[in-house]
Amino acid sequence: MSKVKKSSASTPNSSRQVDNIKSSLPDHSGSISYKVKKTIGSFIESICTLKNVYAVAAIAMLLALRVVLGMFANTTLPFFGNNVKLSGAFLPIAVAGVMLGPVPAALVGGLGDVISFFLVPAGAGGYFPGFTISGIITGLIYGFAFYKNNISLPRTVVAWTVNMLAVETFLAAYWLYLIKGAGSVEIYYTLLVTRFISVAVKCIPEILLIASVGKMSTKIRIPNTIKSKGI
């Protein structure tokens, strides 16, 4: 009996030793190689979600919401020379990135632009694929930033800033520059200034919306996409 008691008493000590050994090991979670592997893993896993019928249904609903918000939940501020357009179309893309990852979010962003154009054609110049590319890139940015990560305010600010600078400012100005006929470089710089004004006006409401709605979206669980632990 004494031996049994001794062995049972030693179990907590041994587990404590294992915990001490684990805590003494170096943490590689901040290394570049770890982040690259995590990014690739998120991309592959988000592709696999397309095999799940529930995930596809979620993508379809978010895509429909993206189209509806892009058509009706938008306004142009006249006191900024009609250069600032407020729209809620970004929100379903960000939510898709939180719930399903970069690939589904890219689908919501890209297909949302295509469907919106064919439902309500904008301008007489026909379909322009540049804005579809912008929607895809936005989905990838939000998907890589938010998928299976803590939706904190600093992370949201970084993801929003990257998207606004890369997509909504420089790339959008370039698309508008091409649409207007790609004249002198001064035209591009003028468009760039207007894009910066637009981004500055939209920054606070969009960041707060993404942070709050994104955090609520993490509580939504899609069946058959959650891997059981310990198996």
Give residue 228's pLDDT: 42
Q: Is residue 29 part of a domain?
A: no
Segments forming the whole domain that contains residue 106 = 36-217
**Nearest-10 Cα torsion for 68, 71, 74, 80:** 160
Q: Is residue 20 part of a domain?
A: no
DSSP state of 27: P
Closest CA to 43 of 106, 93, 101, 111: 101
Q: How far is CA 32 from CA 37, 88, 115, in A?
A: 9, 34, 38
Closest CA to 214 of 107, 142, 106, 109: 142
Give residue 38's pLDDT: 76
Q: Is residue 10 part of a domain?
A: no
Q: Is residue 199 part of a domain?
A: yes
Q: How far is CA 211 from CA 98, 124, 150, 152, 204, in A?
A: 10, 37, 10, 7, 11
Give residue 220's pLDDT: 83
Give residue 98's pLDDT: 94
Report pTM.
Answer: 0.77
Give residue 60's pLDDT: 95
Binned average pLDDT, 10 residues per bin, the chain of 231 residues = 45 47 49 76 85 92 93 71 74 94 95 89 72 95 92 94 93 86 79 85 91 90 58 38
How many Cβ atoms are within 10 Å of 46's Cβ, its own excluded? 25
Q: Is residue 24 part of a domain?
A: no
Q: Is residue 230 part of a domain?
A: no
Q: How many domains does the chain have?
A: 1
Give residue 80's pLDDT: 57
- The percent helix, strand, coil of the chain (3-state, each to 5) is 75, 5, 20
Q: Is residue 16 part of a domain?
A: no
Say which CATH number the domain at 211 has.
1.10.1760.20
Give residue 159's pLDDT: 95
Q: Is residue 134 part of a domain?
A: yes
